[in-house]
Amino acid sequence: MSKRPVVGFLVAGTQASHGAWVVAFAQHLSELGWIEGRNLKIEYRWAAGDTQQMAEFAAEFAHQKVDVIVTSAYGAVAAKKATSTIPIVFAAYADPVASGLVGSFARPGGNVTGLTVQPSDLNSKRLELLREIIPSVRRLAVLVNIGNLGASQEVISIRTAAASLNFEVNILEVRTGEDIEKAMAALKGRTDALYVFSEPLTNANRYQIIKAATAAKVPTIFGFREFVDAGGLISYGPNFVHLFKRAAEFTDKILRGANPADMPVQQPVKFDLIINLRAAKTLGLKISETILTRADEVIE
């Protein structure tokens, strides 16, 4: 009997931040015929937004010679640095062409493929939503993990989107959980809203961010719904459970012999607007019925 293939799952976040996405991946893979423990082994490594940890885990998977590495965000870069031969599937990555992960969306050309989340295209949409929901916003604080690959491009995109709406922007640069605490302490009375660049580090620290923003009476907007489930006000972005399920489809094809070089990078098809009415009430905000009817989900 041939040996069971091994999938190395390099999780960019924590069990709390990425657990539901990881479960969706494994579940969909089993629906496609790959049952963990029966005809497949999945090795999980949780990097908790730590880039050094991701690099070490990626090197470990390369040394183990796993059959496929599945990851997201910076994990894709770490995996690509660790191996040029093992197939890599990213479930969510900003711009894989700009960062050199793939040759093009249509023909990746190397050992990496997956799903892009196009965050830059969404910055304008999120800030327009913020203006529509809270017309009084003028000063915008933006929390950005500057250690994240692509963060500088993200900041340019946010500044451009903010300028078109006449927002004054204050970029709060962080690299660690400790930095987040300091940045959030400076919020009170200095901003009308907080936009969090949503990625593994901020996601892993989302409860801390939301607690501080709520205490400072600052409305929040995010790219992941998980932040709103944790008590944030608004999120708009791709449905990550859906993206991780689609990453299972890429993995299935590769395990059956497909070559990542020939598998086009795909884009999200499902975007969700989630509004937390409980958070709105805590902040003393009234959200119009027009906006609420457009929401994909309202948390009451």
Higher pLDDT, 254 or 149: 254
Q: Is the pLDDT of residue 200 over 90?
A: no
Provide the whole-model pTM: 0.86
Q: Which CATH class is domain 6-118+239-270?
A: alpha beta
Mean model confidence pLDDT for the chain: 94
For the residues 245-270, what does the mean pLDDT come to?
97
Q: Is the pLDDT of residue 187 over 60?
A: yes
Q: Which backbone phi and psi does 66 adopt, to 5 degrees? A: -60, 165
Residue 205 makes CB contacts below 8 A (sequence gap 6+) with 49, 177, 180
Up-side HSE of residue 227: CA atoms within 13 Å toward CB? 35
For the residues 73-79, what does the mean pLDDT come to?
94
| 209 closest CA partner among 218, 81, 158, 6 | 218
Which pLDDT value is given to residue 120? 59
Residue ranges of domains in the chain:
6-118+239-270, 119-238+272-299
- Amino acid 56 reads E
**Lowest-pLDDT range, 64-78, 115-129, 165-179, 264-278?**
115-129
| 90 closest CA partner among 174, 9, 197, 189 | 9
- Cα–Cα distance list, 211 to 136, 207, 282, 292 (Å): 22, 6, 12, 24
- 6-118+239-270 and 119-238+272-299: identical CATH topology: yes
For the residues 60-74, what does the mean pLDDT come to?
97
| 140 closest CA partner among 158, 115, 157 | 158
Q: Was domain 119-238+272-299 assigned CATH 3.40.50.2300?
A: yes
Q: Give the total residue count for the chain.
A: 300
